[in-house]
Amino acid sequence: MSEDTTPPRRDVRFPSGTDRCHAWLYLPAGTSPARRVPVIVMAHGLGAVKALRLAAYAERFTAAGYACLVFDYRHFGDSEGEPRELLSIRRQRQDWQAAVAFARTLPEADPDKVVVWGTSFAGGHVVATAARDPRIAAAIAQCPFLDGIASVRQLPARETLKLVTTGVKDLLAHARGREPVRIKAGARSGQVGLMSSVEDMQSLLALLAASGIEEADYPNDVPARVALTIPAARPGRDAHKVACPILFCVADNDDLAPPDATVRMASRAPRGEIRHYDTGHFDIYLGDDFDAAITDQLDFLGRHVPVA
């Protein structure tokens, strides 16, 4: 029987606002207050939770000697917050700040070697977080959402109108104290959703399967008001403020975070590095594309935030 080399993890919680976020803490062997290591703070993208394959990344990083704090946003996954699946850009940015602050208090972590890692929608949060916090040692943004206008332009006009209409209905319901009007994060044909192409839905289902999650068990409905905030979300405009080294992993066939807009904004980061992958938005989490991306990310970390 082969020895299990999966790094151990423990459940932790940290405060954000009036709620608590749940996180997995991975620590490499031999870590102690006398031997502190860099810590990578990690979170997922649009409507997603840490159980959706983030463990695969954390295990590789921990095997290389890095601690990892992998968290769910408020309202999602194992974290607190009502209503459930509320997708608020402002709140998620606050969760990032709270997670970084908590990581700096970990006795096993070097508070001056905190790395932020985000994928998809969280790739934009990483840029915003690193731009705001000059103590961040390095950042990794995988298939990042940097330009809301560019993403919305990918949608057919009819789909955009449905999203706006449903978003307004949800805002009115919220103002009247009623239950949220919801839309799908990942939609099938005929459904109103933030991600609605057949290819994206098939890739999302493959990602769920690889994570051991049944589609019926995955919360996929979010309050529709978020659709009104996405066009104004352009975190890539802050790339020029990111002082630390930052790696952008760009999926060249991405129809959710258009690669041209991503590269244009990423190029403004003073210490930015860009890597390209011949893959789609969800494909980078699996198989050879995952291996290629994680290899580049480990190389980046080894050059900029090496483990002593």
In the chain the domains, ranked by start, together with CATH numbers, are: 9-151+233-304 (3.40.50.1820)
Average predicted confidence (pLDDT) for the chain = 94
Q: Is 157 exposed, middle or buried (0-12, 13-18, 19+ CB in 10 A)?
A: exposed
Q: How many CA atoms lie within 13 A of 290 on its CB side?
A: 15
Distance CA 74, CA 296 (A): 30
Task: Name the residue among 140, 167, 172, 142 with its Cα closest to residue 152.
Answer: 167
pLDDT tens digits along 225-279: 999 999 999 999 999 999 999 999 999 999 899 999 999 999 999 999 999 999 9
Q: pTM for this structure?
A: 0.95
DSSP sequence for 131-181 = HH-TT--EEEEES----HHHHHTTS-HHHHHHHHHHHHHHHHHHHTTPPPP
Distance CA 244, CA 246 (A): 6
Task: Name the residue among 142, 89, 115 with its Cα closest to residue 286.
Answer: 142
pLDDT of residue 195: 86
CB atoms within 10 A of CB 188: 12
DSSP sequence for 197-253 = -HHHHHHHHHHHHHTT--GGGS--EEEGGGGGTTTT--GGGGGGG--S-EEEEEETT
CB atoms within 10 A of CB 158: 8
Q: Phi/psi of residue 11, each to 5°?
A: -80, 135
Per-residue pLDDT at 4 exceeds 70: no
Residue pair 75/94 in contact by the 8 Å Cβ criterion: no
Q: Is 10 exposed, middle or buried (0-12, 13-18, 19+ CB in 10 A)?
A: exposed
Q: How confident is the model at residue 21 (pLDDT cuts 50, 70, 90)?
A: very high
pLDDT tens digits along 125-182: 999 999 999 999 999 999 999 999 999 988 888 889 999 999 999 999 999 999 999 9
CB atoms within 10 A of CB 37: 22
Residues 6+ apart with CB under 8 A from 291: none
